[in-house]
Structure 1
Amino acid sequence: MGVTKINQEFASPIAPGRLFNALILDSNTLLPKLLPQSIKNVETLQGDGGAGSIEQVNFTESSHFKYVKHRIDEVNKEKLTCKYSMIEGDALGDKLDRIAYDIKFESSNDGGCVCKMSSEYHVAEGHEIKEEEIRAGKESAKGIYKVIEAYLLQNPHAYA
Structure 2
Amino acid sequence: MGVFSCSAEITSTIPAANAFEAIVNANNLISEVLLPVLKSAEVVQDITSGEGNRNCTVKHKVEALDNENFTYCYSITAVDTLGITLEKITYEVKITASPEGGSVCKNASKYFAQNDADITEERIMSVKKKAIELFQAIEAYLVANPHD
Same fold, judged at TM 0.5 (above): yes
2:73 maps to which of 63, 80, 83 = 83
Give the total of aligned pairs: 146
Unaligned runs of 5+ in 2: none
Is 1:154 the counterpart of 2:144? The answer is yes
Summarize the alignment of residues 35-114 of structure 1 with structure 2, pairs less than 5 Å apart. Answer: 35-37=34-36, 38-43=39-44, 45=45, 56-59=46-49, 64-91=54-81, 94-114=84-104
Q: Give yes or no for contact 1:32–1:41 (8 Å, CA) kept in 2.
A: no
Distance 1:128 1:117 in 2: 22
**1:19 paired residue number:** 19
The one-letter amino acid paired with 1:109 is: P
Distance 1:87 1:124 in 2: 11
SS of corresponding position for 2:41? strand
Which string of whole-angstrom CA distances, capped at 9 and with x for unpartnered residues, describes residues 80-127 of structure 1?
Answer: 111111111332654421111100110101100000000011122222
Structure with the largest fraction of helix: 2
Per the TM alignment, residue 61 of structure 1 is displaced from its structure 2 partner at its CA by 8.3
Is 1:142 the counterpart of 2:143? The answer is no
**1:29 paired residue number:** 28
SS of corresponding position for 1:20? helix
The one-letter amino acid paired with 2:6 is: I
Per the TM alignment, residue 62 of structure 1 is displaced from its structure 2 partner at its CA by 5.5
TM-aligned CA distance change 1:74 to 1:63, over 3 Å: farther
Question: Relative contact order: is structure 1 or structure 2 higher (C-alpha 8 Å, sep ≥ 6)?
Answer: 2
Q: Give yes or no for contact 2:70–2:95 (8 Å, CA) kept in 1.
A: yes
Same amino acid, percent of matched pairs: 34
Which string of whole-angstrom CA distances, capped at 9 and with x for unpartnered residues, describes residues 20-57 of structure 1?
Answer: 11121x211212321334232222x3xxxxxxxxxx11
Give TM-score scaled by structure 1 length: 0.83
Give TM-score scaled by structure 2 length: 0.89
Give the alignment's Cα RMSD to 1 decimal: 1.9
Distance 1:74 1:39 in 2: 27
